[in-house]
Amino acid sequence: MRRIFLALGLAAPEEEVRAQPLAGGVSSGIYRVDLRSGSYCVKQALPKLKVAKDWKVPVERVFAEIGYLRTVGAMVPGHVPQVLGEDAASKSFVMAFLGPEYRNWKAELLAGRIDVETARATGAILGRIHAATADDARLAAQFANDADFHALRLEPYLVETAREHPELAGRLLQVVERTAITRRVLVHGDVSPKNILLGPKGPVLLDAECAWFGDPAFDLAFCLNHFLLKAAHLPACTGALMDSFAGFLQAYWPQVRWEPVAALEQRVATLLPGLTLARVDGKSPVEYLAEPQRQAVRRAAIALLQQEPASLASIAGSWAREFA
């Protein structure tokens, strides 16, 4: 680690470089380094994720994240961390450290502090990224990370859930196949509140190691899923969470110019219940749901999968009736 800071000119030759591990994340080692030149964040990809089920992924995914942050940083400045340098040998990179003025969106939601404007801002930023990268052949070649995306997202979420629910395997695997072959925009792949910091200039997207040129429906469904899951955990906040669900989409839809909104919405609506079920029965279950809540989410998600909802409004309405 000392080598990269010396190479970047961030540490003096005689200066000691100490790394302090930071909490959070299941896929990487994340460290804070304080030097005379400032404070920095180092991220190093792990070959095996810190979850109960066996989940091994290629460490080369770190280069997809570096590429995403640099690409998107030029499109929405200030809404992703600044990459300062990388070290190919250790599969790690250095970012600017974001201090205590940045709040974690997941922590805010779990505390019951639901801000619809945050959801709108996130939807708008994601829409800008998708619109700016749509059908870009250069980016499609750079982020042709199909195998990594399958290993990081499609297999542990949807394929694993199909194993747990063989009666639903046909529907789930059909969604997997459709998602895998739809290549339209630069996808973040992990648009989750835990990976979004709320700072002075609005949301900042973190953890882009799943970056892939693919289906924008995945980013949308992945984020919307968390409003549903938080409603199951905090039923008193269901109204505000469903308002956030709607606000996120209202800010996102006007950016869509690469395909009809109705076509994209239909893919999101059929993907979303599968991802919801995956967060109780896949390889990465959410940790905050008690067993009765997990059972309720499972029942509601299965019902939606069987109905094959045509619109996201119908999913939000059904969820509100179930959990409010």
Percent of the chain with pLDDT strictly greater than 70 = 94
Averaged pLDDT, 289-300: 97
Please state, in angstroms and as integers, the Cα–Cα distance from residue 20 to each residue in 16, 17, 62, 99, following that order. 13, 10, 20, 14
Q: Are 49 and 27 within 8 A, CB to CB?
A: yes
Q: What is the pLDDT of residues 13-33, one digit of tens each?
A: 888 888 888 876 556 778 899
Q: What is the pLDDT of residues 152-208, one digit of tens each?
A: 999 999 999 999 999 999 999 999 999 999 999 999 999 999 999 999 999 999 999
* pLDDT value of position 27: 61
d(CA 104, CA 101): 10
* pLDDT value of position 13: 85
Q: Is 47 exposed, middle or buried (0-12, 13-18, 19+ CB in 10 A)?
A: exposed
* pLDDT value of position 25: 58
* pLDDT value of position 14: 84
Averaged pLDDT, 69-76: 97
d(CA 82, CA 149): 23
In the beta sheet, which residues pair with residue 204?
197
SS3 at position 211: coil
* pLDDT value of position 308: 83
Residue 133: both structure tokens together: 């990268």
State the pLDDT confidence band at 52, using cuts at 50, 70 and 90.
very low
State the pLDDT confidence band at 56, using cuts at 50, 70 and 90.
low
More confident residue, 187 or 2: 187
Q: What is the pLDDT of residues 180-192, one digit of tens each?
A: 999 999 999 999 9
Determine the Cα angle at 218 with ends 217 and 223, to 5°. 105
- Which stretch of 103-117, 258-272, 299-313 has the lowest confidence by average pLDDT? 299-313
* pLDDT value of position 74: 96
* pLDDT value of position 48: 55
Q: What is the pLDDT of residues 244-267, one digit of tens each?
A: 999 999 999 999 999 999 999 999
Got the DSSP string for 286-310? Answer: -SS--HHHHHHHHHHHHHHHHH--S
**Domains detected in the chain:** 2-96 (3.30.200.20), 103-323 (3.90.1200.10)
d(CA 297, CA 280): 8
Q: Are 85 and 9 within 8 A, CB to CB?
A: no
Using the structure block, give the residue that is written with the tokens 């619809």: 116
